[in-house]
Amino acid sequence: MLTEKLKKTIQTAYSQILESKEIKARYGQRLMIADIARTLGNIDRDNPNQAHICTLEAGTGTGKTIAYILAALPIAKEHKKKLIISTATIALQEQILLKDLPDIHRHSGLNFSFTLAKGRKRYVCLHKLDNFIVHKNQSELPLDIPANEVLLNNKDDMKLYEALNQAWHNKTWDGELDSWEDFIPHSSWSPLTSDQHQCTGKRCSFYNECIYFKARESVFKVDCIIANHDLVLSDLNMGGGYILPPPEECIYIFDEGHHLPLKAINHFSYSFHINTTLKWLEQVNSTLNNFASLAKPPAQIQQLINQFPEQAKEISTEINHLDSIVGQFEFPENRFASQSMSPTGKSQEQILRFEFGQVPDVLKVQCEQLLKQFEKLAGQLLHINTVLKETLEGEITGLKPEVAEQWMPALAPMEGRATAAMNLFEFFTKQDKQGQPPNARWLHKNESSNSFAQSNEVQGIELSCSPILAANTLEQILWSQCYGAVVTSATIAALGSFDRYVLNSGVPGFFNILPSPFNYQENVQFIVPKMHSEATQYQSHTDEVVEILNKIIDPLKGTLVLFASKKQMSDVEYELLRSDDIWKKLLLTQGQRNKQVIINDHKKQIDKGKGSVILGLNSFAEGIDLPGEYCEHVIIAKLPFSVPNNPVDAALTEWIESQGRNAFMEIAVPDASIKLVQACGRLIRKETDTGKITLLDKRVITKFYGKKILNSLPPYKLMLNVELKSKTNRLI
């Protein structure tokens, strides 16, 4: 029940912030506070009809962060729950941690504690770092250190590890990747990290100093935890309560919530690469033999190790049989292949997607054989790791604790990999539930028949499986488990409806689209020029885009030009540079430099009173902030339709159409609408911003779905089918 006391607390905190910061209340912000307070304050988990989740679309300028913190935090504290704020990007995470929460804490009168939660991979494993340092002058490193044959020959990595170790002991470094002043490549950092399989926890000799466990301990003590979608999903995937508090003890805020369904799909996908698994089995055999000879394990473990060479041979035989079967399949012209081509002009990647996820019987039978093999292997490796854990917990097993501690990091990941293979083959053999969307299943072939192939390129065939929607998964692990949740973003609804998002995410509860504080009608012109070409006619459209850009771009202002394809962006850049030397001074093109470097260079040019033009793709259409003069004109080359360019999207389209539904109207048009709104959102970042948005795609006027897309935009001043007559004045 939302008590009068809670209402008063929230209202007082909001009033104090407004007064302290000398800002005016925003109508959309007040509505957002009310919607969240009403939903979370009246939670009754015993009543299945009572909403405990609300999904709110709140555009730029609403003041989402203040709204959801002021509304949710007092309720979470009153109900003795943890508030988890989850974002999709590091930029927003840092803004909330370093700016928004301290600011709210300072001005609202609310008393609360907060911290940032990071995954285990962001912290150094002191046990592994110590192993490298202790053995740095030896010809062989311990077997629990991965890729040791590379590291032994990599003096730069060993030099880095010595520096990290020295800094740790001098207390000038806290053990976190993000706090090291220089960039550390993933290949250098990864050997220093652990995971839940490798970590020996309280049994580790470095446990009392462990950075990860100290950080985790602080996470469970505070009122508010800042995380990201990947970390939340990882914890939920393990059952909850491992990295973050259990979901039933949490109220989640999913900011940038439109990213959550795709993140969930990626977390619950599986793959199995044939050639790398064969090599891995050899490594397992070698590691087990070394363990047997050096650790002298008890008889029951020794027996398993003695049996493994024959077992590995059987598994390898079955995998080779699998390779023979899939090698006989006819791979079609690859519509999903990457743009990388071999020197012969033939794509090196091919994908065979099984219609409706139906695996051919001959492949299914072989997958059933491999499922049995990997179930057995995963069980045996689990048994070995259980003995290691029991040893570390003080039980008498025949092993010494220091031996178990030494070998567990090497042996535990093997169980995880065997289990992943088991999961893949289980998904390839089980029948999808009737009435539910099928899983996507496909084969990915990467091969090269020429001498130009990269030596480190993985060749062979990979089996993959993925859900096509996250709805059922999120319902099982999140929506039905959490105490309460808020999902928010500037773009969740599509064409004025939440149907597309619900299809993706399965989120139940209350929904609302909040009004924007911006005066779009007065401040923004949305222009669609009169065009001769169709956006689907690549060459004629590209030529006309070049012609129009030469007319409409003001060389004294900040402009963002967004493209749907890298090829068109590159071709337009080439033609612009050929047409006039002025473009050499103006253009900053995505891919030529780091994204942040491009943004910084763009701002520097504007600050000098000069013009600057960014040519970018989808990643520049979302999440970048170019307020005021930094961006006064957004130009969108074409409607951001996406074709089913991967097996998961293709499988979803196939399933929807099989039910007599229109996938284009149900998926393609809503998704294009959301992306268009996101792209347009780069223009107005604060209430005083003004400018133009130009769409170089006449389909929004001529096609039957165009009106729906136009109606889904903010209330811009529309200028359709505009005749472009003159060329913008040029700099001399």
Q: How far apart are CA 322 and CA 460, in angstroms?
A: 12
Q: At 69, list the tokens.
A: 């913190």
- Phi/psi-derived region of residue 689, left when phi > 0, alpha when psi is between -120 and 50, beta in every other case: beta
DSSP 3-state assignment of 270? strand
Does 53 reside within a domain? Answer: yes
Pairing between β-strand 558-562 and β-strand 633-636 as defined by DSSP bridges = parallel
Q: What one-character DSSP code corresponds to residue 470? A: S
Residues 261 and 273 in one domain: no
**Phi/psi of residue 591, each to 5°?**
100, -25
Average of per-residue pLDDT across 289-310: 90
List the single range of 168-182, 326-340, 506-520 with lowest mean pLDDT: 326-340
Alpha helices in 258-341 (DSSP H): 260-267, 274-295, 299-327
Residue 653 — very low, low, confident or very high, per pLDDT cuts 50/70/90? very high
Quick: pLDDT tens for 228-257.
999 999 999 988 888 899 999 999 999 999
- What distance lies between CA 293 and its chain's CA centroid? 43
DSSP H helices in 79-154 = 90-95, 101-107, 126-134, 148-151
**pLDDT at position 339, please?**
43
pLDDT tier at 616 (50, 70, 90 boundaries)? very high
The answer to the question of residue 732 being in a domain is no
- Is the domain of 448 the same as that of 359? yes
pLDDT at 709 over 80: yes
Same domain as 429, residue 346: yes
Q: What is the mean pLDDT of residues 313-327?
A: 96
Residue 40 region by backbone torsions, left for phi larger than 0, else alpha for psi between -120 and 50, else beta: alpha
Q: Mark whether 389 and 499 lie in a shared domain.
A: no
Same domain, 244 and 202: no
Q: Name the pLDDT band for 453 (thresholds 50, 70, 90).
A: very low
* Measured torsion, CA atoms of residues 80, 85, 86, 88, in degrees rounded to the nearest 10: 170
Amino acid at 111: N
Does residue 319 sit in the same domain as residue 460? yes
Distance CA 191, CA 196 (A): 15
Whole-angstrom Cα distance, residue 615 to residue 589?
5
Instruction: Tell me, yes or no, whether 95 and 126 share the same domain.
Output: no
Q: Which residue has the tokens 């070394």?
A: 290
| Residue 700 in this model has a pLDDT that exceeds 80 | yes
Predicted local distance difference test score (pLDDT) of residue 731: 41
| Cα(373)–Cα(556) distance, integer angstroms | 67
Same domain, 307 and 346: yes
691/674 Cα distance (integer angstroms): 20
Q: Is residue 396 part of a domain?
A: yes
- Encoded tokens for 568: 């068109």
Residue with tokens 């939670």: 43
The packing angle between helices 64-78 and 27-41, to 10°, is 20
Res 341: pLDDT = 40
DSSP 502-556: HHHH---SEEEEPPPSS-HHHHEEEEEE--SS-TTSHHHHHHHHHHHHHHH--TT
What's the total number of domains in the chain? 4
Residue 730 domain flag: no
Q: What is the mean pLDDT of the chain?
A: 89
Instruction: Quote the CA–CA distance of 568 and 645 in Å, as a whole number.
Output: 17
Phi then psi for 228, rounded to 5 degrees? -130, 165
Which CATH number does the domain housing residue 699 bear? 3.40.50.300
Mean pLDDT, residues 448-469? 69
Other Cβ atoms closer than 10 A to 550: 17
List, in order, residues 6 or more apart from 237 with CB less than 8 Å away. 267, 268, 477
Q: Where does the pLDDT of residue 342 fall: very low under 50, low under 70, confident under 90, or very high at 90 and above?
A: very low
| Inside any domain, residue 695 | yes
Would you tell me how many other CB atoms lie within 10 Å of the CB of residue 365?
12
Q: Are residues 592 and 639 in the same domain?
A: yes
Judge if 501 and 433 occupy the same domain. Answer: no
What's the CA gap between 375 and 358, in Å, rounded?
Answer: 23
Across 638-662, b (16+ Cβ under 10 Å) vs e yields bbbbeebebbbbbbbbbbbeeeeee
Q: Name the band, by pLDDT with cuts 50, 70 and 90, for residue 348.
A: low
Whether the predicted pLDDT of 343 surpasses 60: no
Is 728 part of a structural domain of the chain?
no
Phi and psi of 535, rounded to 5°? -65, -20
Same domain, 179 and 234: no
The answer to whether residue 418 is domain-embedded is: yes
d(CA 94, CA 673): 29
How much is the pTM?
0.88
> What residue has token string 């793709």?
617
Is 731 inside a domain boundary?
no
User: Which of 398, 433, 467 lies at the terminal end of a domain, its last residue?
Assistant: 467
Domain with 365 in it: 269-467
Confidence band of 24 (pLDDT split at 50, 70, 90): confident
Across 61-134, the runs of DSSP E, i.e. the strands, are 82-87, 114-116
Q: Are residues 566 and 654 in the same domain?
A: yes
Mean per-residue pLDDT, 670-689: 94
Q: Are 137 and 172 in contact (CB under 8 A)?
A: no
Q: Is the pLDDT of residue 481 over 50?
A: yes
| pLDDT tens-digit readout, 116-148 | 998 888 899 998 888 888 877 655 545 444 444
